[in-house]
Every structure is written in C-alpha cells, then in structure tokens.
Amino acid sequence: MTGHGAAPLGIVHVGLLEEDSAEARALLERWPNPDDPPRRRSRLARALLRVLLGGATGVDPGLWEFSADPSGRPLARAPGVAEPPSVSLSHSGGWVACAVAAGGSLGIDVEAHRAGRDHAGIAGLAFGPGEQRRAADGGAAAFYRIWTLREAMAKSTGQGLVQAADGSDRAAGGPDHGCWTMDLDGARWWLAHEVPAPGLSLSVALEGRAGGGSRWRLSWWRPVANVGCHGEWCNLGLSDRSDHPIAGEDP
C-alpha cells in the first residue's frame, strides 16, 4: 500500500503490436485518418497511439491529433485537454510500440535483435565504459537492453543520436528486466526494460526532476481486434512483469 505522504502512483501505458496482426488490421480499419502519413507503419503507429490515448485518458480516440516539437518529439492534443500526456513512438522488425504518460518527458524504443550485427563495434563507439563491459559480459541481450534504454532516454530529451551515441554511461546499472530509478545530469529518470517477445527488446524512459518523489508503474496493453479496437483492452501477458511500482519508493 502507499504510505502516508507518498507521491501518487502514475502509470506509463505501453501498446505493442505486430504490423501484420489481426489487431493491427482492425486498428487501421477502425481509425483511417486522411491527415496521417501514407506509409502503413506510420498510420498504424498513429492509430495505436490514438487508441492508447483513449484508453489512458477517457477521451475519444478519434479526437486526438498529432504534431512535433522542434526536436521532432511527437506531441498529442485533443479538444478540451489542457495538459495532454507525453507520448512516444517506435518501430522495428515488424513491431510498432507506443507509450503514453501524464507527467514528465517520455521516450520508448523497440528493437528486433539482428543476427550478424557488430555489437562490440557499436558499443565501442556509442556506449560508456561500464555499458561496454556489461554488453561484453551479457552478449546480445545485454547489448540490446543498453541500446534501447539509451535510445529511449535520447527520445525523452529530444537529443536523438547525439545523446544515444555520446559514449557516456547511462544504462550500465539497473536490472536486466523490470523498472528502476536513477538520477543523472540533474534529472530523475524512471527506466524500464522488457523482452515482450523472443528476440525483441523494449525500453521506456521517463525524465523528471532529480530527487523527485514521483512513483510510476508500467502497464502493457493492446486493443482487442474482435471488438473493433474501441475502448476494449486486454493485458499483453508478461506474467508478473506486467506492472511494476518503482522500487524503493514505498511500493
């Protein structure tokens, strides 16, 4: 239970779909939008984000519109919503992922593991010393954990590859899976990493104020294809990892 004086528990909502799944086809049929980009993957990401926003906020998914800030981070808006949630998108290897959170600056990254990739070479160019050691010891799984965490953090700040490949340790600590917090460069970070399918790594990063007491949990959801992808959701099925209160902050 939440102790006396503890910060409210926030939720980071994550949606994940395979591009060729029944749920994906139902989403595109349910939410065609002439203002969305022509590329199917981009249209699917926006449709998934609309439904995720609807499920998270109670606002009709069809009312949400999207733009970008000067750094390229996506922005969501809907009539009557004075403070829209932070949102983020990612895709890789036939998967599309979205995240929504009310509060903080959010980033998500999903990566399909690729055979033959030069993990050591990339780590040597982009990772910090501690991350390089962890990637060398843990192999591909450790490499993709670190890479997706770095990408998610860079999306959260809007600095992109400049930060993702800056050679500073950002994800050397923390568990292989689950959620944790970290203070870095004057910011409090809430971080999460999971392997939701074999050969697939997904990380989420939420930036706040260093020393802040915000508490978050991660909820994974997907729309149910046979009910038209409108207001009906099912748990993705990550067993006991489907939700995580922040460790060490009055779970």
Residue-by-residue DSSP string for 108-173: EEEEE--TT--HHHHHHHHS-HHHHHHHHHHHHHHHHHHHHHHHHHHHHHT-THHHHTS---SSSS
Kindly list the domain boundaries of the chain, sorted by start residue. 9-241
The per-residue pLDDT for range 41-81, each reduced to its tens digit, is: 888 999 899 988 988 888 998 899 999 999 889 999 999 99
Range scoring the smallest mean pLDDT among 7-11, 132-136, 230-234: 230-234
**pLDDT confidence of 29, banded at 50, 70, 90?**
confident
Structure confidence by residue, pLDDT tens digits, 100-138: 998 789 999 999 999 999 999 999 999 999 999 999 999
As given in the structure block, the two tokens for residue 207 are 């930036």
Average pLDDT over residues 154-165: 90
Is 9-241 in CATH node 3.90.470.20? Answer: yes
Quick check: 250 and 182 in contact, CB under 8 A? no
Tell me the CA distances in angstroms from 172 to 142, 182, 184, one per residue in order.
10, 11, 12
* CA–CA gap between residue 182 and residue 248 (Å, rounded): 11
Whether the model pTM is above 0.75 = yes
Question: 51 with 230: CB under 8 angstroms?
Answer: yes
Q: Is the dihedral of CA 92, 98, 104, 105 positive or negative?
A: positive
What pLDDT is attached to residue 36? Answer: 74
